[in-house]
Chain A
Amino acid sequence: MTGHAVPPLDRSLSPQPGPVRSFDFPPVISSTLSNGLTLRMARMTRVPLVSVSVVLDAGESALGDPLAGLAVLSGDGLDGGSKRLPGPDLAEALEGIGSSLAVGTGGDATAVSLTCVAERLVEGVELLSEALLSPAFPEDEIDRLRNQRLAAIRQRQMDPGSLADDAAIHAFYADSSPYHRPLAGTHDSVSGIGPDEIRSWVKDRYLPAGAGVVVVGDVEPAEVEALIQDRCGSWTGGQPERTDTPDEPRSRERRVVVVDRPGSVQSEIRIGQVGVPRSTPHFFPLKVFNTILGGAFTSRLMLNLREERGFTYGVRSRFSFRRGSGPFGISMAVATEVTAPAVAEAFSELEGLLDGGPTDAEVERARDYIAGVFPLQLETTGQVAARIGELQVYGLPDDYFGSYRDRIREVTTQGALEAGRAVIRPDEFLVVVAGDAGSIRGPLEELNLGPVEVIPPA
């Protein structure tokens, strides 16, 4: 017993929070090797694991349409191993220490990563650096990996959600922008990629001066630095060429595109446009604005379309922040018969938020939510390594995440509204629906959003 009387429990009152405990993003210790490679480390000792990630300036956005998918297939190609350690042996060695190589290729970068128990760090780094710095790209393995990619593209074209995503970005962006096409390329572009293209790409883009190594976990920074120097110090090459990513919209006219899937029981809906880059001054206010619109379970879109009307299992809105202006959009899957009403409700919520603005209470709640879940998303070495990788890709200072929650808490109601109004233009929205055109075309036309075009699946 605590010595004083505990008052009887009144269940009608929600409990008051206790004293707040502070959360600090683990300090980032960084250094630069003589070859230009940046090393960033953070200690996390909760469990004896370590994550290692090499972030390369080798994203799909640096490629023109004819070679779309080259960055992705090059990353896949690391599975072919090196001369000394061919693919099957590489996989066996990695999995023998309980690890595996994860290659993530995006528009802006390629990240080659692994997580292993801390006592196997030396082996992990040796295997990762062997795969990354001495890749053999054997022709027969590239053949296989290309066939796997082509099959994956085929799967993507028959998955309603992916079909809608791909049709949406094609509608949002002009052909001059790499953002208009599926990240991993098209059947035609990938078919034309072989070992020569891959070797050339890797020679130009897998370069230390544009790359960052991130090591997070239960390790000693001094030992890590010596290890990375030992394994990556002889990596040579200049700086990858960096140009701005074209991100022009296809048009500024609002219109509706229906990707016809006859007999589809649902419509996959995407509503949006070209958004803003990661470097936007509106970044934090937009985080708050979007949380209120469709970025949390208790967002306006979710409460309306799911909890009030039962139109959908889930709806969300999202800014995809990239070096260039990534897309902004609302996405949801709804029953075929409520397609047009769901689109109308989504517009109504968005326009209502832009016209009337969020309430102070909504903004406070959104700020508390984003600031509060921040540590929940930084519990694993892999999560923290991914965040530190962003410092490399977007040129952010090492202490950036230390003040992230403060920046969120500084967002005002007016600031969130102004950011939303500055960036979101419903008059220029594209509405893309993958669904049964025969059932939904008429009702969509009656919404008078703009011209309605029906196209076959890609």
Chain B
Amino acid sequence: MLNVPVERHRLSNGLRVTLSRDPSTPVVGVNLWYAVGSRNERPGRTGFAHLFEHMMFQGSANVPKNRHFDLVEQAGGSLNASTWFDRTNYYDTVPSHHLELALWLEADRMGWMLPAMTQEKLENQQEVVKNEKKERYDNQPYGDWDERIQALVFPHDHPYHHPVIGSMEDIGSATLEDVADFFSTFYVPNNAVLTLAGDFDADSAMGLVERYFGEIPAGAPIPPLPGRVDISPVIGETAREVVVDDVPLPRVYMGLRVPPVTSDRFHAGDVAATVLGSGKASRLYRSLVREKRVAKDVLAYLFPLQTSASLLLFWVTGYPEADPEDLERALLDEIDGLSSVEQKELDRAVALTETHILRNIQQTGSRADLLSMFDQTFDDPARLNSEVDRVRAVTRSQVQDFGAEFLGPDNRAFLTYIPGESP
């Protein structure tokens, strides 16, 4: 059992606040999760949540363009943000005597971002984001795998059907009016959680939070997600797509719909993913890489998502001459064999999870981020302290049941890349 301290507050405008004090290093993390991500994007505006995240660094009423980065770097801090399916997070990690600076900056853009917005800034960041898409997706081997897998795993009208980065065309057609609408709809204190972790003065911290964030008005209730979120727990078929492309090695991806992070069955899926494909003692590495030697690398990863389902992903990279069908067969052999899972494999998953969480909470920034995650997702930041216990509570029969229900042929989406000239 961990004992990361958790003290909770709620401002009258709806902002939830978690304080987690640890003065062992003179560093403080200020972390915000806004419950808005690519799932909230409407048709024709894919990629907007992420573009908006970029705009959040373009200044606010009292902070000129680039000043946020400038002040935090000058303070000896680091900062960034990221956009994901269900949320957008912003984080500043600063020497603790600069806590008030970080609060001022985050509050100014939560409350008064719009006065600083201009068409010039929007166009500049549209170009930056287009370059980000080119650099991280279009110009990368297998760079479009997530777009393709999401489209196979989630129906066309589900909010997870399209990738977070969005389409070039949609990014280019965003307007200042979209920025204003998005801001006033989603960037409101009642749609955010704030975490302070690390070194701060226990007596004055909450007063500072109230002082900077307290007068930001609450927004309207958050509108329901666009599209259809009421979907079957499984895909309903074995879906397939084959891509001949300029890739170095054949690779098979398999995506599955599994219970959302909020489901009490989520951890059985998490343990199954670790047993199968996390580490060199995992079943997939041992069989496909070490023994059969059909694969150069393998991976299983469970993306924890909130809306309808999570995404469980496998990938198997073959050697240059590998037949993708052999890769697929070897993968399925191990997945079908999960019913023989042993207790010691579960114990390994628990041990790996424990180290993983401890490693994460070493860093003030990621500790704050985890607390925000548990607050935003479960309304319970202290859940961090019992997370390992939930993994430990998973039984063999729960993993077997998970395998029987979610790893069968009615819940598989295969995406196969074959090296060759792209069409």
Contact = CB atoms under 8 A, between A and B. Distances in A.
B76 to A, nearest CB: 1
B387 interface: no
Contacts of A200: none
Interface stretch (A240-248, A270-278, A306-314, A386-394): A306-314
Contacts of A382: 359
A4 to B, nearest CB: 13
Contacts of B93: 376
Interface in A93-150: 94-100, 115-117, 144, 147-148
Given A11-B61, A17-B75, A20-B97, A49 B26 contact: no
Given A148-B296, A298-B66, A379-B363, A333 B135 contact: yes
A380 B366 CA distance: 11
A6 interface: yes
Contacts, number: 222
Contact of B354 (A92, A98, A313): A98
Interface string B47-72: 00000000000000110011001110
B379 interface: no
Interface stretch (A33-41, A229-237, A364-372, A444-452): A364-372
Given A96-B351, A151-B319, A312-B131, A296 B73 contact: yes
B104 interface: yes
Contacts of A158: 141, 246-248
B95 A313 contact: no
Q: Looking at chain B's contact residues, is the secondary structure mostly helix, strand, loop, or mixed?
A: helix
A232 B77 CA distance: 40
Contacts of B65: 307
B358 A47 contact: yes
Interface residues of B, number: 87
A154 B249 contact: yes
Interface residues of A, number: 79
Given A22-B26, A49-B362, A313-B131, A152 B296 contact: yes
Nearest to B63: A14
Interface stretch (B122-130, B170-178, B325-333): B122-130
Nearest to A303: B66
Interface in B94-126: 94-101, 103-104, 108, 112, 123-126
A334 B135 CA distance: 8
Interface stretch (B186-194, B225-233, B265-273, B278-286): B278-286
Interface string A216-255: 0000000000000000000000000000000000000000
B78 interface: yes
Contact of A333 (B139, B296, B320, B344): B139
Given A95-B351, A307-B66, A333-B139, A117 B104 contact: no
B249 A155 contact: yes
B125 A365 contact: no
B148 interface: no
Interface string B77-95: 1100000000000000111
A91 B362 contact: no
A380 B131 contact: no
Interface in A152-168: 152, 154-155, 157-160
19 contacts: A2-B207, A22-B26, A23-B25, A46-B362, A48-B358, A91-B285, A96-B344, A96-B347, A151-B248, A152-B296, A158-B248, A159-B140, A266-B131, A298-B69, A306-B128, A310-B123, A313-B129, A313-B131, A373-B78
The 5 closest A-B pairs by CB, nearest first: A372-B76, A310-B127, A98-B351, A98-B355, A21-B26
